[in-house]
Amino acid sequence: MSRGGRAMFDLFARVFGREDASKDVAKERLRLVLVHDRASLSPQALDELKNDLVNVISKYLEIDQEGFQVDFSRHEESMALVANIPVRSVKRRTL
Amino acid sequence: MGEAIVITSGKGGVGKTTTTANIGAGLAQAGSRVALIDADIGLRNLDVVMGLENRIVYDLVDVVEGFAKLKHALIKDKRFENLHLLPAAQTRDKTAVSPEQMKHLVESMKDEFDYVLIDSPAGIEQGFRNAVAGADKALVVATPEVSSVRDADRIIGLLEANEKHKPCLIINRIRPSMVKRGDMMDIDDMIEILAVQLIGVVPEDEAIVVSTNRGEPAVMNSNSRAGEAYRQITRRLKGEDVPFAKIEEESGLFGRIRRMIGGFKG
Ligand SMILES: Nc1ncnc2c1ncn2[C@@H]1O[C@H](COP(=O)(O)OP(=O)(O)O)[C@@H](O)[C@H]1O
Ligand SMILES: [Mg+2]
């Protein structure tokens, strides 16, 4: 197909809803990839976060540090920080 | 006291060296005292883009190591007597220079020049840290493509974490005809995504290839559309408020004639 013919074909494909303008695809892909890029922590920072979490939670609960896991969970639209914290026992409240 | 500006991007091949050469020549043309530093150690390029490759005696590493004096290493551009280039070393690597040494060097050059432009290597490693170390301001070059914008976002994040740098964006190689038919991100799309201040939009232009062949920055060519874009960036850097004109594809006979004249005159 000639250059003009190709452009015409693309235009028709778009008008009839078969294909998005490629720049919209690019924008949407960028938006998603940047959500992840911007929220990412370095492995070192993630380790520090884990340690801080252990310290805070240990004030209230006795936790199993071996099974303690923190990681990012990626979804299409967003990111979540997911923690799995096995609890041994609830600390008895002292008044 | 001059101003040090780093030209950077993250991704390679998006136009950092071309931008540095053209803005440097543009600022010199407008009467400023300008020094260009090629900080891409090991991949020296700015010298050939400027057409100064045959006059190199000493380089950046020689100066930093105290082997040569700055004034002996700086190459004076014959076309503009107030334009100088400090070339990169070709046979060393980025670790030959530290960020502290670069900072010291750039600081000392700011006493003598109105503008010190630093051409950064690609990447976010030590070469990048060297290039930004002494800079007061950063120009981030990005093309309207997913990978380039993604890398620009990363660089902007790193520069903003550094606080003293206030990045401005240069969009390079935009093609109005592709933007028009929806096959290329436009200026607004990129600004919306990167949330950063825009300082210039440079169209894709064959005159860049011609001028690189000749070693004469396109900013010297009054018929080149990219050259005009660089002249506008130059004026904005000098504090002038230059509106962003809509860039149009030059088509038809008139555009072709203009391009031919521009191409031949170089
Ligand atoms: N606006 C433009 N129009 C056409 N070609 C360009 C443009 N900007 C850069 N180029 C070309 O792209 C290539 C890479 O440019 P360069 O400045 O060396 O990139 P970088 O320094 O970021 O690696 C070169 O061949 C250059 O001539
Ligand atoms: Mg380069």
What is the SS3 string spanning B220-238?
A: HCCCCHHHHHHHHHHHHHC
In this structure, the answer to whether residues A33 and A56 fall within a common structural domain is no
Structural domain total, chain A: 2
pLDDT by residue (tens digit) across B60-72? 999 999 999 999 9
Domain residue spans of chain B: 3-264
Q: What local confidence, expressed as pLDDT, does residue A69 receive?
A: 87
Contacts of A31 in chain B (CB under 8 A): 193
Question: Cα separation of A37 and A35, whole Å?
Answer: 6
**CA B15 to centroid of chain Cα atoms:** 7
Q: What local confidence, expressed as pLDDT, does residue A83 receive?
A: 87
Q: What local confidence, expressed as pLDDT, does residue B265 receive?
A: 40
Distance A35 CA to ligand 1 centre (A): 29
pTM over 0.80: yes
Q: What local confidence, expressed as pLDDT, does residue A41 receive?
A: 79
In this structure, the answer to whether residues A91 and A49 fall within a common structural domain is yes
Q: What local confidence, expressed as pLDDT, does residue B264 receive?
A: 44
Q: What is the mean pLDDT of chain B?
A: 93
Reading phi first (left if > 0) and then psi (alpha if -120 to 50, else beta), residue B89 is in beta
In this structure, the answer to whether residues A8 and A48 fall within a common structural domain is no
Q: Is the CB of B16 under 6 A from ligand 1?
A: yes
Q: What local confidence, expressed as pLDDT, does residue B259 receive?
A: 52
Q: Which of A21, A30, A38 sits opposite B182 (nearest CB)?
A: A21
State the virtual CA torsion across B201, B9, B156, A78 in degrees, nearest 10.
100
**CA B30 to centroid of chain Cα atoms:** 16
**pLDDT higher than threshold 60 for residue B257:** no
In this structure, the answer to whether residues A35 and A45 fall within a common structural domain is no
What tokens does B85 get? 């280039």
3-state DSSP assignment of residue A50 = helix
Compute how many other C-beta atoms are within 10 angstroms of the C-beta atom of residue B72: 11
Lowest-confidence region among A17-26, B12-21, B59-68, B84-93: A17-26
Phi–psi pair at A74, nearest 5 degrees = -100, 125
**Superfamily of domain covering B3-264:** P-loop containing nucleotide triphosphate hydrolases (3.40.50.300)
In this structure, the answer to whether residues A51 and A71 fall within a common structural domain is yes
Q: Which of A23, A31, A33 sits opposite B182 (nearest CB)?
A: A23
* pLDDT tier, B42 (very low <50, low <70, confident <90, very high otherwise): very high
**pLDDT higher than threshold 50 for residue B100:** yes
CB B141 within 8 Å of CB B7: yes
**pLDDT higher than threshold 70 for residue B4:** yes
In this structure, the answer to whether residues A49 and A32 fall within a common structural domain is no
**CA B40 to centroid of chain Cα atoms:** 12
Q: Looking at ligand 1, which residue's alpha carbon is closest to its atom 8?
A: B15
Distances (CA, A) of B150 to A26, B52, B125, B142, B216: 11, 33, 17, 9, 31
Please, which residues have CB within 8 angstroms of residue B188's CB and are 6 or more apart in sequence?
Answer: none
In this structure, the answer to whether residues A95 and A54 fall within a common structural domain is yes
Q: Does B34 touch chain A (CB under 8 A)?
A: no
Domain with A70, as residue range(s), is: 41-95
**pLDDT higher than threshold 60 for residue B255:** no
**pLDDT higher than threshold 70 for residue B248:** no
Q: Does A24 touch chain B (CB under 8 A)?
A: yes
In this structure, the answer to whether residues A47 and A29 fall within a common structural domain is no
Q: What local confidence, expressed as pLDDT, does residue A14 receive?
A: 62
ipTM surpasses 0.90? no
In this structure, the answer to whether residues A47 and A89 fall within a common structural domain is yes
Distances (CA, A) of A55 to A51, A52, A58, A60, A84: 6, 5, 5, 10, 15
What tokens does B164 get? 């003293």
In this structure, the answer to whether residues A25 and A60 fall within a common structural domain is no
Over the Cα atoms of chain B, what is R_g? 18
CB B152 within 8 Å of CB B180: no
* pLDDT tier, B266 (very low <50, low <70, confident <90, very high otherwise): very low
What is the residue-level pLDDT of chain A in tens, covering all 95 positions? 566 666 666 666 666 655 679 999 999 999 999 988 888 777 888 889 888 999 999 888 888 888 888 888 877 677 788 888 898 877 766 65
In this structure, the answer to whether residues A46 and A91 fall within a common structural domain is yes
Q: What local confidence, expressed as pLDDT, does residue B158 receive?
A: 93
Q: Looking at ligand 1, which residue's alpha carbon is closest to its atom 6?
A: B208
Question: Cα separation of B168 and B142, whole Å?
Answer: 11
Q: What is the DSSP string of B181-245?
A: TTSS--HHHHHHHH--EEEEEEE--HHHHHHHHHT--GGG-TT-HHHHHHHHHHHHHTT-----P
3-state DSSP assignment of residue A74 = strand
In this structure, the answer to whether residues A63 and A35 fall within a common structural domain is no
